[in-house]
Amino acid sequence: MEFPFDFIAIVRKVNRAAALTGAGVSQESGLRTFRDAQTGLWAQYKPEELASPEAFARDPKLIWDWYAWRREGVKAVRPNLGHYALVEMAHRIPDFTLITQNVDGLHRLAGSPQVIELHGNIQRVRCAECGAIVEDWDDDNAAVPRCASCGGLLRPHVVWFGEPLPRAELESAMEAARNCQIFFSIGTSGVVQPAATLAYAAHNRGAVVVEINTEQTPLTAKADFFFQGKSGEILPELVKAVWNSETINGEQ
């Protein structure tokens, strides 16, 4: 990928940057994006129909099982070069805020120093009644496990459609978007609010908006730079072009 000279010059001298990532960043690790068709057992459902409080109220076991299946999938995968390139960017840019909609924890696993997880983390579970965070539960049961203290059903500690985002995380993400000089939107369809507004908040405050995606999105027309392709390829190329540095896969 040839990056425009003015883009490289901007990234080299920038002090404050923010990046928002979505499911596309984990696609090359082997995880499906949300808006891909599902396969196998789950092919008959749309993720949007499973990731909601209404769905859980209607059929808690179905939703629990979908998350248990996804949790296993996440445990089996590793970060890819896109995740590692973002670690490198955080080391190169003095103030770099990484915001993710992903619940897979792969940015932390790759070693990103600070990650704002807007939609929670799939490995965590809480009681749907009393809200207690639960560390241990029995997944072999035929029924959804229950909270040891109040007996409520357990659910994933993630944000579902129609639920508010964690307040502190959303405020920090908004502040980073408003204060950054450059905003990267990477591997996200940009259709789920309020995460999707972050790029516009940055744009409205004069930040340079950069999009990396295999497809065009509603943001593309507003982006100052659009790099079409896989984030696991483009991000390491960007790191090399800007800082003449190789992305190190932390596991090697």
To the nearest whole angstrom, how small is the minimum distance from the Cβ of residue 161 to ligand OAD? 6
To the nearest whole angstrom, how small is the minimum distance from the Cβ of residue 124 to ligand OAD? 14
The answer to whether residue 83 is catalytic is: no
The tokens describing 197, both together, are 């507004």
| 21/146 with CB nearer ligand OAD | 21
209 residue type, one letter? V
Q: Which residue in 83, 91, 107, 119 is the catalytic one?
A: 119
Element (H or E) spanning 74, and its range? helix 60-75
Is the C-alpha dihedral spanning 111, 172, 163, 37 positive or negative?
negative
Of 102, 118, 179, which is closest to residue 110 (Cα–Cα)? 102
For 43, phi then psi, to 5°, come to -60, -25
Distance, in Å, from the CA atom of 114 to the CA atom of 19, rounded to the nearest integer, reads: 12
- Summarize as ranges the residues that interact with ligand OAD (CB under 6 A): 22-24, 27-28, 33-35, 47-48, 51, 101, 119, 159-161, 187-189, 192, 213-215, 217, 230-232
| 181/217 with CB nearer ligand OAD | 217
| 99/146 with CB nearer ligand OAD | 99
Q: What is the DSSP code (8-state) at residue 212?
A: E
Q: What is the DSSP code (8-state) at residue 42?
A: G
To the nearest whole angstrom, how small is the minimum distance from the Cβ of residue 13 to ligand OAD? 26
To the nearest whole angstrom, how small is the minimum distance from the Cβ of residue 168 to ligand OAD? 17
| 12/78 with CB nearer ligand OAD | 78
Of 106, 138, 51, which is closest to residue 251 (Cα–Cα)? 106
The tokens describing 122, both together, are 């799939």
Inter-helix orientation angle 167-179/197-204, to 10°: 30
If you compute the radius of gyration of the chain from its CA atoms, what whole number of angstroms results?
A: 19
User: Which are the contacts of 208, defined by CB distance < 8 A and separation ≥ 6?
Assistant: 10, 181, 182, 183, 224, 225
* Residue 7 Cα to chain centre, angstroms: 24
| 22/145 with CB nearer ligand OAD | 22
To the nearest whole angstrom, how small is the minimum distance from the Cβ of residue 235 to ligand OAD? 9
As annotated, the active-site residues are 119
